[in-house]
Amino acid sequence: METNGNTHESWVARIPRRVVIHRMETADCLESRVFWAIILWSLCGPQRSKYFVVKDHKGFIQKDAEGIPIPGKLKNLLSLLGLAPGMKGHVSRAVQRLKEKKSIRFEGNLLYIEEAPPPAESPNEVAKLGNWNIAGVVVKLGNLPSDPVARASSIQWLNELRLGYNGSVKTLKSGYRELLSQGVSEGRILIVLDEKRRRGEKLASSPPDPSAPEPPHREPIRGVVAERFPEAEFQNSENDKTHTALRGAPLERLRLRMIERAKQGPFNAGLISTLANEVGLAWQREQSLNARAAPIRDNRELIADIRLHWNDYTDAQKQEYCEIFEELRE
């Protein structure tokens, strides 16, 4: 911990660059990933900047012909996060939400991390975003009464309603999870319930066998990933996902696709399975076309034989062979 003054408001935390990259790559929501990406290409070293700029993969600021740092734009955020152009709208909305929360600010066309953000407002005060999502229904500030007293009462009621709904959902999930655990203990189902599993991850169909040999595809894929991301921890789940996405395509094609993608700008290891899917689809189309293509016959011996005995054929036979030659030529 370092201090730039005598009050706790001026204290700053020193966070390793690898930690920032890790959070940018693994955060659960896009808004959080965008926030850490902005930090990486601004306040994070080895070369720091007060505003969001374009950096290379080692963290050094890129400059224009006049030696001025190149300001980062929305397209640079997309590239840094390894997102497709179709995600531009989602990233733009995430940036807008961060701005409304006073996490970032714009000065002209420059994007700054707000280094002295205001404290979070009380739950009973009007939130800047003003959205309540309860049971799939979104209520916005514009849906509330304009009278200040009635408006404050509605906000308090909505906060209490949302708190109760979230608590009820959590209790309901916990109750049904206990029933599943009971089913496991009674032998009704043969699965492993991992209490710390990530959101959206499916229940394992059987417990892992530590003595089982590793699938042969993992080590070659791990080697290709390590060539470009030597510090990345490529999980087995991502490795298997990449193998499936390749659809039997040679691993060299994935390596070449990663090289092509790197020419467009930095990207993270989380994009590899997506690139593998592109390679796999292209390979699948190529194999399908090859299977449908008619076999090419080698007629050179036949033609040589016809020429050798040409004078032995009748006029009708010569005419027939001439028509065949014309079809082959076309």
Beta strands in the chain (DSSP E): 2-3, 11-12, 104-107, 110-113, 131-134, 137-140
Kindly report the CATH class assigned to 2-113.
mainly alpha
In the predicted model, is pLDDT for residue 123 greater than 50? no
Residue 185's pLDDT is: 65
Give 14-57 as a DSSP string: ---HHHHHHHHHH-SSHHHHHHHHHHHTTT-SSS--SB-B-B-T
- Averaged over 280-299, what is the pLDDT? 71
**Banded model confidence at residue 125, pLDDT cuts 50, 70, 90:** very low
The DSSP call for residue 1 is -
Share of the chain above pLDDT 90, in %: 15
As to burial, measured by CB atoms within 10 angstroms (0-12 exposed, 13-18 middle, 19+ buried), residue 212 is exposed
Residue 128's pLDDT is: 44
Residues in the chain: 330
**Banded model confidence at residue 177, pLDDT cuts 50, 70, 90:** confident
226-258 pLDDT tens trace: 888 887 778 888 888 898 889 889 999 999 998
- Averaged over 165-194, what is the pLDDT? 68
Domain chopping of the chain, boundaries: 2-113, 121-212, 218-292, 300-329
- Averaged over 122-133, what is the pLDDT? 56
| Residue, of 17 and 174, whose pLDDT is higher | 17
| Residue, of 141 and 271, whose pLDDT is higher | 271
- Averaged over 201-219, what is the pLDDT? 64
Phi, psi of 107 (to 5 degrees): -125, 100
In the predicted model, is pLDDT for residue 263 greater than 90? no
In the predicted model, is pLDDT for residue 95 greater than 70? yes
Cβ–Cβ under 8 Å, residues 118 and 102 = yes
SS3 state of residue 195: coil
Residue 195's pLDDT is: 47
Residue 49's pLDDT is: 92
Instruction: Look over the chain and give the mean of its residue pLDDT values, rounded to a whole number.
Output: 78
Residue 137's pLDDT is: 81
**Banded model confidence at residue 126, pLDDT cuts 50, 70, 90:** very low
Rg (CA), the chain: 31
